[in-house]
Amino acid sequence: LQWLRNPGPQRERRTLFGDMVCFLFITPLATISGWLCLRGAVDHLHFSSRLEAIGLIALTVALFTIYLFWTLVSFRYHCRLYNEWCQTNQRVILFIPKSANIPCTHQQSLLGLQPPQRNSKETTV
């Protein structure tokens, strides 16, 4: 969720938003177009030329091949950006162990640290 809120530079944010909008627009469009082509192919098989039916089936296959290719390329691109973002935006919290001789508050004041507040998503290192 942090990456979706701030995926990186403005260009990457625009690309992610644009691909999401295209995916939401193209998915139903490709589905309806494929369904209409297959319906037309079935009608042509029953009533007229087999050549037109084969053409509509080929059009459906080409449509879904291009759609799946675009989806895969877009998904891989954004996964790569996410992995790069994860490598450069790690959140590390260092807990200093309590010493037997120095009280915790004195040790923290020497280092200028405030007592850490733990988040449920954080891992102790």
Residue with tokens 């507040």: 117
Instruction: State yes or no: pLDDT of 40 exceeds 70.
Output: yes
Strand, helix or coil for residue 76: helix
Instruction: State yes or no: pLDDT of 80 exceeds 70.
Output: yes
Does residue 79 lie within any of the structural domains? yes
- Joined tokens for residue 2: 């942090």
Note the pLDDT of residue 88: 81
Domain extent at residue 15: 10-89
Note the pLDDT of residue 49: 80
Instruction: State yes or no: pLDDT of 52 exceeds 60.
Output: yes
Answer for the pair 92, 83: CB distance below 8 angstroms, yes or no: no
Instruction: State yes or no: pLDDT of 37 exceeds 80.
Output: yes
- Residue 87's pLDDT band (boundaries 50, 70, 90)? confident
Does residue 16 lie within any of the structural domains? yes
Does residue 71 lie within any of the structural domains? yes
- Residue 71's pLDDT band (boundaries 50, 70, 90)? very high
Number of structural domains (the chain) is 1
Does residue 49 lie within any of the structural domains? yes
Does residue 61 lie within any of the structural domains? yes
Instruction: State yes or no: pLDDT of 36 exceeds 60.
Output: yes
- Residue 119's pLDDT band (boundaries 50, 70, 90)? low
The tens digit of pLDDT for each residue in 90-107 reads: 777 888 877 655 555 555
Does residue 102 lie within any of the structural domains? no
DSSP string, 62-82: HHHHHHHHHHHHHHHHHHHHH
